[in-house]
Amino acid sequence: MAQDFSRFFKPGRVHRQIYTDPAIFEVEMRHIFGAAWVYVGHESQVKNPGDYFATYLGRKPVVMVRDAAGKLHVIHNQCAHRGAMVVATDKGSADEFTCCYHGWTYHLDGRLKAVPLNHGYPGDFNLNNPAVAMTAVPRVRSYRGFVFASEAADGPSLEESLGHMATSLDDMVDRAPDGEIEAAGGVFRHAYDANWKIYFENLCDAAHPLFTHRSSIEAAQQQSDAVHSDGFGEIAIRQMRQNGAPYSFWESQVGIWTYPNGHSYLGDYHDDSKLVAAMKDPVFREYIAALEKKKGKAETKRILEVRRWNSNIYPNVSLMSQFQQLRVVQPISVNRTVVHTYNFRLKGAPEQMFRNTIAFANIVNGTGSLVLTDDLEIYNRIDLGLSSEGTEWLQIGRGYQSDQPDRYDGRRGVNSTSEVYIRNMLEAWLCYMNGNHPEPARAAS
């Protein structure tokens, strides 16, 4: 009989067990990562026919690949013979996939193409039988170049599932003067010893920087304005100083928005005049000119006024559209998670803009990042803290009962320190875990 996971919730509280129980993690892999629209990759990672990108759907190795006709597929990375993983490199280009164990060879869409010693199999052995293919993930859909896949053969469409959150993906692309972005600059990967849900629950947490990131905030505050005129230092120091904004700032200037199916974003945190010194920066001025030339002044103004910090698309991708950065969460086990960070080049923008993107990525996601190291320590401390089995029920109630409706079927927190985004993700979690697709969100209008 199906379990009812609502026993892990009380108003404004969640039971610690959902972050530590390996049996619950197993259900998450089937009911969430095996059903929801899960982010797979970006079309620019498989630009040409034959290009492939090996990744994961939850814990499952899969391959995103563009076939000879240009069609996108996501196939399970498993040989139909004895089960070996077929594609062992992260990315590349191929005419076909050949398993390194006994040489079974597959078309790019996963259909079996050739089998050594074919004559040894029974007479009804048929290369076209789907049972001997690298099985396709049933639903694959791209939204403005962002590729998602779902193991559920039916259910809400990707657009229904994204609802108003599609506008964060729009913002990522709209910022490119030529209307196109491309993944570039490789990938940062970091791993931590704690549950995957903790990561998303931190990305919109406006109440933690003052404590968690205090050391880098204080160092930035002590810097004289005169000594950081190069782009990298300037972005770092501005970012660290902004992290040190007082509670009154978080509670008045910044907002948190949530939408059906677990999605949310922190808005109005960063504006370009604060962080990029944009209005004086010649590179940014050149960028604005390029944008205005292609899109006109009014549309450029609209685009630059979209000020979203982290946009979290449940269950596994978070974007920072203003900095052309995207992070993918890969659950490994109940207390082991890997996060992959990708950066994007805005086509038609000055090349220095991309250098700023990489500088920013180093500041917040590089191995020497002063911010990331603090957060990774916190994730691990959460796992260690939960293992002490002290308080059973964790608090997620800040702002509870003060939520305000949003016109796109969502809920706003009373201010950015509201924990509404955690409650919203856990509502989607409960829906998936109880075996239901969350309600389709209303499409963006």
- Binders in 90-129 for ligand FES, by CB under 6 A: 99, 101-104
Partner touching 53 among ligand FES, Fe ion, none, CB below 5 to 8 Å by kind: none
Helix (H) or strand (E) holding 139: strand 139-143
Q: Shortest distance, CB of residue 375 to ligand FES, whole angstroms?
A: 40
| Whole-number Å distance between alpha carbons of 62 and 14 | 33
The answer to whether 335 and 379 are in contact (CB under 8 A) is no
Distances (CA, A) of 361 to 103, 219, 338: 41, 19, 17
| Whole-number Å distance between alpha carbons of 351 and 357 | 10
Q: Shortest distance, CB of residue 130 to ligand FES, whole angstroms?
A: 17
Partner touching 250 among Fe ion, ligand FES, none, CB below 5 to 8 Å by kind: none
The answer to whether 398 and 251 are in contact (CB under 8 A) is no
CA 173, 178, 180, 186 torsion-angle sign: negative
Q: Shortest distance, CB of residue 72 to ligand FES, whole angstroms?
A: 24
Q: Which is nearer to Fe ion, 171 or 375 (CB)?
A: 375
Tokens of residue 260, six digits: 């059906």
Partner touching 81 among Fe ion, ligand FES, none, CB below 5 to 8 Å by kind: ligand FES
- Estimate the crossing angle of helix 297-304 against helix 282-295, to 10 degrees: 130
Partner touching 102 among Fe ion, ligand FES, none, CB below 5 to 8 Å by kind: ligand FES
Q: Which is nearer to ligand FES, 81 or 398 (CB)?
A: 81
Name 193's bridge partners: none
Find the distance separating the first CA and the last CA of the chain, reported in whole Å: 40
Closest residue by Cα to residue 257 from 78, 85, 416:
416
Q: Which is nearer to Fe ion, 80 or 361 (CB)?
A: 361
Partner touching 375 among Fe ion, ligand FES, none, CB below 5 to 8 Å by kind: Fe ion
Q: Shortest distance, CB of residue 109 to ligand FES, whole angstroms?
A: 17
Q: What is the DSSP string of 238-289?
A: HHHHHHT--HHHHTTT-EEEEEGGGEEEEESS--HHHHT-TTT-HHHHHHHH
- Binders in 45-84 for ligand FES, by CB under 6 A: 79, 81-84
Q: Shortest distance, CB of residue 82 to ligand FES, whole angstroms?
A: 4
Q: Give the CA-trace dihedral at 356, 361, 362, 363, to 10 degrees.
A: 90
Q: Shortest distance, CB of residue 57 to ligand FES, whole angstroms?
A: 20
Q: Which is nearer to Fe ion, 201 or 375 (CB)?
A: 375
Q: What is the DSSP string of 415-432?
A: STT--HHHHHHHHHHHHH
Q: Give the CA-trace dihedral at 22, 24, 27, 31, to 10 degrees.
A: -130
Partner touching 104 among ligand FES, Fe ion, none, CB below 5 to 8 Å by kind: ligand FES
- Under the criterion CB under 6 A, does residue 283 sit at the interface with ligand FES? no
Partner touching 99 among ligand FES, Fe ion, none, CB below 5 to 8 Å by kind: ligand FES
> Around Cβ 392, how many Cβ atoms within 10 Å?
9
Q: Shortest distance, CB of residue 208 to Fe ion, whole angstroms?
A: 6
Partner touching 82 among Fe ion, ligand FES, none, CB below 5 to 8 Å by kind: ligand FES
Partner touching 247 among ligand FES, Fe ion, none, CB below 5 to 8 Å by kind: none
Closest residue by Cα to residue 37 from 155, 121, 165, 176:
155
Q: Which is nearer to Fe ion, 347 or 398 (CB)?
A: 398
Q: Which is nearer to Fe ion, 106 or 309 (CB)?
A: 309
Q: Shortest distance, CB of residue 115 to ligand FES, whole angstroms?
A: 8
Q: Shortest distance, CB of residue 54 to ligand FES, whole angstroms?
A: 16
| Whole-number Å distance between alpha carbons of 97 and 50 | 10
Name 257's bridge partners: 265, 412
Partner touching 296 among ligand FES, Fe ion, none, CB below 5 to 8 Å by kind: none
| Whole-number Å distance between alpha carbons of 271 and 278 | 9
Site string for Fe ion, 358-397 (x = CB under 5 A): -----------------x----------------------
Q: Shortest distance, CB of residue 136 to ligand FES, whole angstroms?
A: 18
Distances (CA, A) of 406 to 260, 409, 442: 11, 6, 12
Q: Which residues would be at the binding site for Fe ion (CB under 5 A)?
A: 375
Q: Which residues would be at the binding site for ligand FES (CB under 6 A)?
A: 79, 81-84, 99, 101-104
